[in-house]
A and B are shown apart, each in its own frame.
Chain A
Amino acid sequence: MNDLAAIVEKLCASSRKGFSDPHAAVEWPANLDRDQWFMSPDLISLQGLPAYDALPESDRRTLSFHEVVNFFSLVLNGEKFLIQGLTQRLYREDLGGLTPYLHHMIDEENKHMIYFGEFCTRYAGKVYPDKKLSVPRDYAPGEEDFLFFARAVIFEDIVDAVNIRLAGDDRVCPTVRRINRIHHEDESRHLAFGRALLREMFGERAPGWSPETLSRVREHLSAYMAAAWKEYCNPSAYRDAGLPNSYQLYEEALASSPAARRRRELSARCVGFLVQSGILLQEPVL
């Protein structure tokens, strides 16, 4: 049994052991006290901007609610895309050994969407929609599968870094902390699987790719990581929090030094893996 097969077997056993009812895992208060933090203050996307510094604390807490609704929405939207891709890869002969764990991932991602969707619709009355545009393109042999799983690892790792911080922050709303904690527990397994799979896929496929393909893969993953962080900032959330000039705030948040430092800090584990495994040659500009 190779390393990946052993990891798949171990993770399947762990998923079966931790099988849960998503409708019983979180208690949903009828109302949430809005005068509390929903996002850690230091994780708010506008933190460090003059416009944020000028806000009274009550308005910062209001913003933190809309920020966490945006964060849960982007996770939910990402998981919808992930489930589509995982489902397409079930029972493929060339990926046959993965199928038992893909079933668990699909099940667990579906449960996560229940938590995130319930919070957003129950307390905010909406999920912020996905506004990404999908452009079809051609791929070299093995490139599309590799990019799918690499994007999944990048997305899950960044989200997990935020989950860990939110779950451990005593200032944050207990319901938000609980959801982040549950998500982190499942994502730890998904990340272990994803990293092992990427190492194996890259080792098998990259030697057959042309230098142009390899360069395109690296460029795409670096750009994907930067693009994933842009979803963390949402003009609609700023507008819902009552802030004027929401698009200008979005641009300022993307350009600000404190935000760039936060992105690098929260991406450090993921970047470390990608560089150490040779998938990326250098740290992306975030």
Chain B
Amino acid sequence: MTEAEIKRALHEWIVKASGRIRPEELTDETMIFEKRIITSLQGLDFVLYMESLIGKNIDIQNLTLHDFRNVNAIYREVLGKLL
């Protein structure tokens, strides 16, 4: 998957899982946990979905919530490094 495809997939997942934001309101810089668009209890689902996108395990122990703060950070700090 390309960077654009991964980011588009993340957008779609966030909008569907949240139910609290419209697609046009979500940008690559929207703070998804800080604004409680995604809750901590949805975090596991979100991580497993990201793993399914790239076909690799994500080692959460070496990451912080800051690395998942928005779509750009997720790609730059997490997924992009595993591709």
Contacts and interface: CB of A to CB of B under 8 A. Distances in A.
Interface of A: 129-137, 220, 223-224, 226-227, 230-231, 235-236, 247, 250
A230 B45 contact: yes
Q: Which of under 10, 10 to 19, 20 to 34, or 35 or more describes the interface residues of B? A: 20 to 34
Interface of B: 33, 36, 39-49, 51-52, 57-61, 65, 68
B65 A235 contact: no
Contacts, number: 55
Contacts of B57: 236
Contacts of B48: 131, 235, 247, 250
B30 to A, nearest CB: 15
A134 B42 CA distance: 10
Grouping DSSP codes into helix (H, G, I), strand (E, B) and loop, the B interface class, with mixed when no group exceeds half, is helix
A73 to B, nearest CB: 13
Given A224-B41, A230-B45, A131 B33 contact: no
A131 B36 CA distance: 19
7 contacts: A129-B59, A129-B61, A131-B60, A134-B43, A135-B40, A235-B48, A247-B52
B40 A133 contact: yes
A223 B41 CA distance: 7
Given A133-B60, A227-B41, 15 more contacts: A129-B61, A131-B44, A131-B48, A132-B44, A132-B60, A133-B44, A133-B47, A133-B65, A134-B65, A135-B43, A223-B39, A223-B41, A224-B41, A230-B45, A250-B48
Contacts of B59: 129
Given A230-B45, A235-B51, A247-B48, A134 B60 contact: no
A135 B51 contact: no
A271 to B, nearest CB: 17
A162 B42 CA distance: 23
